[in-house]
Structure 1
Amino acid sequence: MTPIRKFRQQTVPPWRRAVLKVGSSLLAADGGGLSTRYALGLAQFIASCHASGREIVLVSSGAVAAGRMLMQHLPEDTSNAARQAMAALGQTQTVALWQRLFDRPLAQVLLTHDDLRHRRRYLNARATLSELLAYHVMPVVNENDTVAVDELTLGDNDNLAAIVAALIDADMLLIATDIDGLYTADPRSDPDAQPVDEVHELTAEIMGMAGAAGSRVGTGGMRTKLEAAEKAAAAGIQTILFNGRDSEVVNLLGRDLLHGTLLRTSATRLQARKYWLLHVPAVPGCIHVDAGAARALSDDGASLLPKGVIDAVGDFQRGDMVEIVGDGTDGEPFVVARGITQYGAAEINRIAGNHTRDIRERLGYSYGERVVHRDDLVVTTDCGVSP
C-alpha cells in the first residue's frame, strides 16, 4: 500500500474567536459510549487558546453514541424517535465529558437550524453566546436533535458549526476530523491522491474531490465539511480542516502551525455581513429618526439609540429588518440605513426620545441600550453601502 502523503506545514492566519467542531468519530469509544482519548488533546489545545486570550465555541457531536451506550441493554431501534431519545440521554454525557477536561465552566447550548433562520431567535441565540463568552464560559453547542425532524444526518454539525461561526462573528472555523485534510481523491484507495494544503476558492472541481453529495466517497463526510467551509467563506470566515486524532498536529495547531487544509475566503467579515444586511428584504414600516441620529448613523458609524428616534411606523417585531428614515432638507423622507431592530414598533414608540437608562422603567424589561446595533446596521445611499 502506498503511504498517504502528508501535508506541508503552514502558518495559521491570525484569529481571535473561533468555532471548533469535533465529530463523533473523535469521541466514540471502541466499545460504545464516549472516550477522552482524543478529546483530551483537543481540550489542551482549547486551554492554550484561552490562555492566550482567544475565545472558542465548541460544537460537539457524540450525544447519540453516548445515549446508545446508556441503553445498550435494550433491543436496537434505528427509528428516528429512538435516535432522538438517545440524543436526549446522551447530551448530558457529552457535556460532562468535556467539563471534566476544563477548569472553566461550560454551558450547553442546543440549537436547530430553525433557531438560526428565525430572526428573533437568531438575535436571542447570538446574545446568549456573546454573554457566555463575556463571562469566560465556553459554550458547547449541538443540534437540538431531541426536537429536530430530519437533522440527524451525516455531517449536519459541520454545517451547524459554520452557521454558529457566522452567528458569533468568528474569525475562524476549525473542523477536527479523523483524516488529515482534503485530498484530490480518496488517499486510502488512490495511490495518486495528493494533499490539498490550501484552497482559495471552492470551485466545482474542489467540491468534486470530496465525492458526491451525501456520500462517504473521498474522506468520510468531506463533502459536508466543504459545504460548511463554503457557508463560512460567504460570511468572510476562513476554515481549517485538521486531524484531531494526531496529537502532533493538534499540538502544532496550538502554536499556530497547520498540517492540514486551509480554506481561505476573499470576502472580509464586514463585507459579507454588510452585503447580507443590504439585501435582506425589509418588512413594511420604518423607524423615523431625527437629524442628529441620522448624522450619527451615516457619518460616525454609530448604533441607533432611543434618544434619536422620533417614532416607529408599522407593526414590525423584534428581529425584523427595517428601514431607518430621516427627513431631508426639502422635507421629504429618505432612507438613512437599514438594520435588524432589537425592539418591536410598539416598544420603540414607548421609548422614543428617551435615554437608554429609561428603557427598563418604560417597558418593564430591556433587550439592551440600542434600538439597532451598529453591527446589525448598514448605511444606505442610492449606489449601495456608503463608505
Structure 2
Amino acid sequence: MNVPRHAEQALPRWRRAVLKVGSSLLAANGGGLSTRYALGLAEFIAASHRAGREIVLVSSGAVAAGRALVRAQPEAAHGLAARQALAALGQTTVVALWQRFFDRPVAQVLLTHDDLRNRRRYLNARATLRELLALGALPVVNENDTVAVDELKLGDNDNLAAIVAALVDADLLLIASDIDGLYSANPRTHADAAPIDDVAAITPAILAMAGGAGSGVGTGGMHTKLEAATKAAAAGVETVLFNGTDADGLRLLAADRLRGTRFRAEGTRLHARKYWLRHAPSAGGRIRVDAGCARALAGGGASLLPGGIVGIDGDFARGDMVEIETLRDETWTRVARGISQYAASEVRRIAGRKSHEIEAALGYSYGETVVHRDDLVCLAPQGTAA
C-alpha cells in the first residue's frame, strides 16, 4: 500500500529534549535487541550532543531482551512475575546496546509513576537526571518493571516520557515510532488515510484517529502517544512524532527538520511551570527572609539560599510548597512561593549559614539552595503574580 507522506516542516527550537524509543524499533525478529534502527537514532543523539544539546532517552526493550536470554525455557515467557523477571534480566542488555554507540557514559535510571507522584522522590529523581546531564552523560530511563505492576500492565513508556519531559524541564518530547506520524485513520488498513502534520490541540476528534498497536512487540499504540502529547502540552512542552525506521527522516531531524506530526503546547513551558507553582496548594509552612534576599528573589533568576533566611513558621517536609515572606511595614508579607528542598527542621538548622556549610550542619546535603529558582515564583506584595 502506498502510504501518503507527511510534509517536511521546521522542528521546534530546543536545547533539551526527551527521546522515547519503543520496543518495535529495538526488538530483533529472532528475539533480543537489534541495532538496525538503534544506530540511526544514536547518530541523531550524537549529532544533537555535538550541537550542544541535551537528551534524556526513555528506552523500552527490556522484556524483549530478557526473553532472548531465556528463550530455551519457553515457560519463562508467561505470567506477570515472569515478565518482571525478564525485564530485570534485560535491563543490562538495553543499557549495553546504547553504550556501544557512545564515548560518553550511559546511565540507567529506573522510575515508576509512584516515584514521580511522591514529591520527595520527584525532587531526588530530577536532581539525579540534571546532574547526569551536567556530567555529560546520556541518561537512559525506563519504568522499573520489576516492581511497577500497574505500569508493566499498561506498557506506559509514552506517558512516562511525557512525565520525564516535565521533570527535567525539556523543551521538546520526541517520540520515535514505526509509523511516520498521526493519520486520519490507520494507514495500514485504510487507503484513504490522510497524514496530519500539525495538531494545535488534542480534541476528541483527534483521539478518535488513534488506532491500536502496530507491532506485536510493544504494548503501546497511537492512543498512548496522544495521551503523552496531551500531558506534555499541559506542561508547555511540544511533542513531535516521527518514524524511527526512516534513515532520511532521522537525518532531517538532526538538521532541525521534521517529517512527522507536531503537537503544539498549551502556552510556554515557563508559563505552565509558573502557573502550577503559583496555584499549587501550600503545606502551610512559611520561610521568612531578610530584605536583601527578598530583593534578590524579586529581581528574578535567584534561588533562595540559606544565608538570607531569618526564620521559619509552621512545619513542612522536603518537597512541600512553602510561602516565602519578608518584613514590610512591620508586617510579614508574602513575596514568593516555591518547593522546598529541605524540611522545616532542616531549614531551621541551616538558616543564616553559607551554602557550603549545609553538609557540615546537617551531615548531608540536598544541594546549595533551599528553594531552587526553577521551583520558585515571585509574587507582588498583594499576593498577585509579579
Q: TM-score, normalised by structure 2?
A: 0.95
Contact 2:349 2:362 in 1 (8 A): yes
Give the equivalent residue in structure 2 for 1:93: 93
Contact 2:290 2:310 in 1 (8 A): yes
Contact 1:33 1:67 in 2 (8 A): yes
How many angstroms apart in 2 are the aligned matches of 1:299 and 1:135?
A: 29
**Residue 254 of structure 1: CA displacement?**
1.1
SS at match of 1:276: helix
How many angstroms apart in 1 are the aligned matches of 2:54 and 2:208?
A: 33
The one-letter amino acid paired with 1:9 is E
Q: 1:275-286 to 2 correspondence within 5 Å?
A: 275-286=275-286
How many angstroms apart in 1 are the aligned matches of 2:17 and 2:384?
A: 30
Does 2:350 correspond to 1:335? no
The one-letter amino acid paired with 1:119 is R
Relative to structure 1, is the Cα distance of residues 338 and 287 closer, same or farther in structure 2, using a 3 angstrom cutoff?
Answer: same
Deviation by residue 1:93-121 (Cα, 9 ceiling, x = unmatched): 11111111112110000001111111111
Relative to structure 1, is the Cα distance of residues 371 and 252 closer, same or farther in structure 2, using a 3 angstrom cutoff?
Answer: same
Give the equivalent residue in structure 2 for 1:191: 191
Q: What's the % identity of the aligned pairs?
A: 66
SS at match of 2:151: coil
The one-letter amino acid paired with 1:146 is T
Contact 2:16 2:172 in 1 (8 A): yes
Contact 1:186 1:217 in 2 (8 A): no
Give the equivalent residue in structure 1 for 2:322: 322
How many angstroms apart in 2 are the aligned matches of 1:333 and 1:118?
A: 31
Contact 1:11 1:257 in 2 (8 A): yes
How many angstroms apart in 2 are the aligned matches of 1:150 and 1:158?
A: 15
Relative to structure 1, is the Cα distance of residues 287 and 230 closer, same or farther in structure 2, using a 3 angstrom cutoff?
Answer: same
**Residue 217 of structure 1: CA displacement?**
8.5
Deviation by residue 1:298-342 (Cα, 9 ceiling, x = unmatched): 23442111111112222311111111122221x222221110001
Give the equivalent residue in structure 1 for 2:259: 259
Deviates more, 1:30-39 or 1:301-310: 301-310
**Residue 370 of structure 1: CA displacement?**
1.1
Deviation by residue 1:29-79 (Cα, 9 ceiling, x = unmatched): 001111111001111111111111111111000000011111112233421
Does 2:118 correspond to 1:118? yes
**Residue 384 of structure 1: CA displacement?**
3.3
Relative to structure 1, is the Cα distance of residues 368 and 375 closer, same or farther in structure 2, using a 3 angstrom cutoff?
Answer: same
Q: Which runs of 5 or more residues in structure 2 are unaligned? A: none
Deviation by residue 1:156-200 (Cα, 9 ceiling, x = unmatched): 000000111111111110000000100011111112110001111
SS at match of 2:173: strand
SS at match of 2:288: strand
Contact 1:154 1:221 in 2 (8 A): no
How many angstroms apart in 1 are the aligned matches of 2:243 and 2:253?
A: 10
Deviation by residue 1:132-177 (Cα, 9 ceiling, x = unmatched): 1111110000000011121114550000001111111111100000
Give the equivalent residue in structure 1 for 2:27: 28
| RMSD of equivalent CA atoms | 1.7
Q: 1:1-387 to 2 correspondence within 5 Å?
A: 1=1, 3-76=2-75, 77-211=77-211, 215-216=212-213, 221-329=221-329, 331-381=330-380, 382=382, 384-386=384-386
How many angstroms apart in 2 are the aligned matches of 1:332 and 1:383?
A: 14
SS at match of 1:107: strand
Contact 2:335 2:383 in 1 (8 A): no
**Residue 216 of structure 1: CA displacement?**
3.8
How many angstroms apart in 2 are the aligned matches of 1:288 and 1:109?
A: 36
**Residue 288 of structure 1: CA displacement?**
1.4
Deviation by residue 1:323-367 (Cα, 9 ceiling, x = unmatched): 1122221x2222211100011111111111122222222122222
**Residue 248 of structure 1: CA displacement?**
1.1
Deviation by residue 1:197-220 (Cα, 9 ceiling, x = unmatched): 111111111111114xxx449997
**Residue 380 of structure 1: CA displacement?**
2.4
How many angstroms apart in 2 are the aligned matches of 1:239 and 1:166?
A: 12
SS at match of 2:195: coil
Contact 2:181 2:242 in 1 (8 A): yes
SS at match of 1:368: coil
SS at match of 1:334: strand
The one-letter amino acid paired with 1:343 is Y
SS at match of 1:384: coil
Q: TM-score, normalised by structure 1?
A: 0.95
How many angstroms apart in 2 are the aligned matches of 1:266 and 1:68?
A: 40
Relative to structure 1, is the Cα distance of residues 154 and 245 closer, same or farther in structure 2, using a 3 angstrom cutoff?
Answer: farther
**Residue 284 of structure 1: CA displacement?**
2.3
Contact 1:317 1:345 in 2 (8 A): yes
Contact 1:210 1:217 in 2 (8 A): no
How many angstroms apart in 2 are the aligned matches of 1:305 and 1:5?
A: 56
Contact 1:20 1:57 in 2 (8 A): yes
How many angstroms apart in 2 are the aligned matches of 1:6 and 1:300?
A: 45
How many angstroms apart in 1 are the aligned matches of 2:190 and 2:19?
A: 30
Relative to structure 1, is the Cα distance of residues 30 and 320 closer, same or farther in structure 2, using a 3 angstrom cutoff?
Answer: same
